[in-house]
Chains A and B, each alone.
Chain A
Amino acid sequence: MKWSPPSLPPGPLPPEMQPPLISQLVLEWVLPEALQEPVLGDLQEEFIQRQQHNRQRACWWYRRQAFTTCWHFLHQTKGEWLMFIFSMLFFIGISVWAMLVSAPDNPLAFYDFISLVLIFPPALLFAVGATSRQTLQRAIAFLFDPRPGAEPQDYQQIRHFFQLMGHSGLLLGGFSTLIGVIAIAQQTNADNFSSTIGPATAVCLLTLLYGAALKTLCYIAAEKVRFVADASAAHSDMQG
């Protein structure tokens, strides 16, 4: 017995007959370009057949197929991306662990909301201001899909964006620390010196710590852009 394609009314598929959208989007992101058409088409063909009996079951079937398909292709198409994200998360995880170990009695000793606001939003705004909103969009897209194939100029701009954000973060960290040091110097006197100098210095150094962390992450991202740009150029040379 051969598979018989389901019969459908003419025109585009009504929304209530469409397969689960998120699964489709994830599949499009994970599958190699050459396989997107046949795999998504096959899944949709079988999904429509199944949903004629029970839509809920058909949706579960589609999601299961999407999950196993992603599992098969994730390493092949997103292996480098996974390694890149893993290295970033590893750095953040190790840093948090070191912070918790250094101050076991007060786990929030390294957290200060004002210091975070002083570093991250201005660094991002400086980078967007010095480049463009399109470059920000390209940089975010690169973080989710660092594949070769873009124009060399695009890679240059994305790398410049990350470098700018990292430098800005570090400079803002130094600048904010100076503000803190001046504030401490103004408000410290012989009476409160021993009780305030320690906690106040710690809080003022937090901005430098956040700036250095942002600089490190941006440095890795910028180097990743350079690596992908080199790979893309080498691939173009081979084809040309």
Chain B
Amino acid sequence: MTQEKFIGELEQMLLLCVLQLKADAYGTQIRSFLAEKAKRDLSIGALYTTLERLEQKGLLSGRLGEATAERGGRAKKYYSVTGEGRLALQRSKAALEQLWQGLALLQAPLFSQGGFAE
């Protein structure tokens, strides 16, 4: 159990973006997709720091693609989720589902004096 790789919220979101974008998953597309679907405006620096970390963990794999004129002749880096990445996502989803079981956050009163009301 201790050998399992756990992922943070942003890492999870990026892995899901890459899965959703399929063969078109490179920096600009991932950033734009994340902003549109999750309302999260990530800077390019933060995006690539996280993508690099996921690549180092073996959850993502990257390859350089074609260079285009609008990119100043620079290549795109396409990402894809590895088998290990899919497993990490499944594990994360299962853990969250377990933790959410029996909770109905919207119906619960927010605060009573001294803490959460039961």
Contact = CB atoms under 8 A, between A and B. Distances in A.
A68 B52 CA distance: 16
Contacts of A65: 43-45
Interface residues of B, number: 28
Contact of B32 (A3, A13, A40, A44): A3
Interface residues of A, number: 30
A70 to B, nearest CB: 7
B46 A45 contact: no
Interface string B46-83: 10110010000000000010011111101111000000
A6 B72 CA distance: 12
B74 A68 contact: no
A29 to B, nearest CB: 14
Contacts of B68: 5, 41, 45
A38 B28 CA distance: 9
Contacts, number: 88
A37 B77 contact: yes
B45 to A, nearest CB: 3
B72 A44 contact: yes
Given A2-B33, A43-B44, A68-B43, A38 B24 contact: no
A90 to B, nearest CB: 28
B28 A72 contact: no
Contact of A41 (B29, B32, B71): B71
Contacts of B74: 36-38, 40-41, 44
A45 B69 CA distance: 9
Contact of A45 (B21, B52, B71): B71
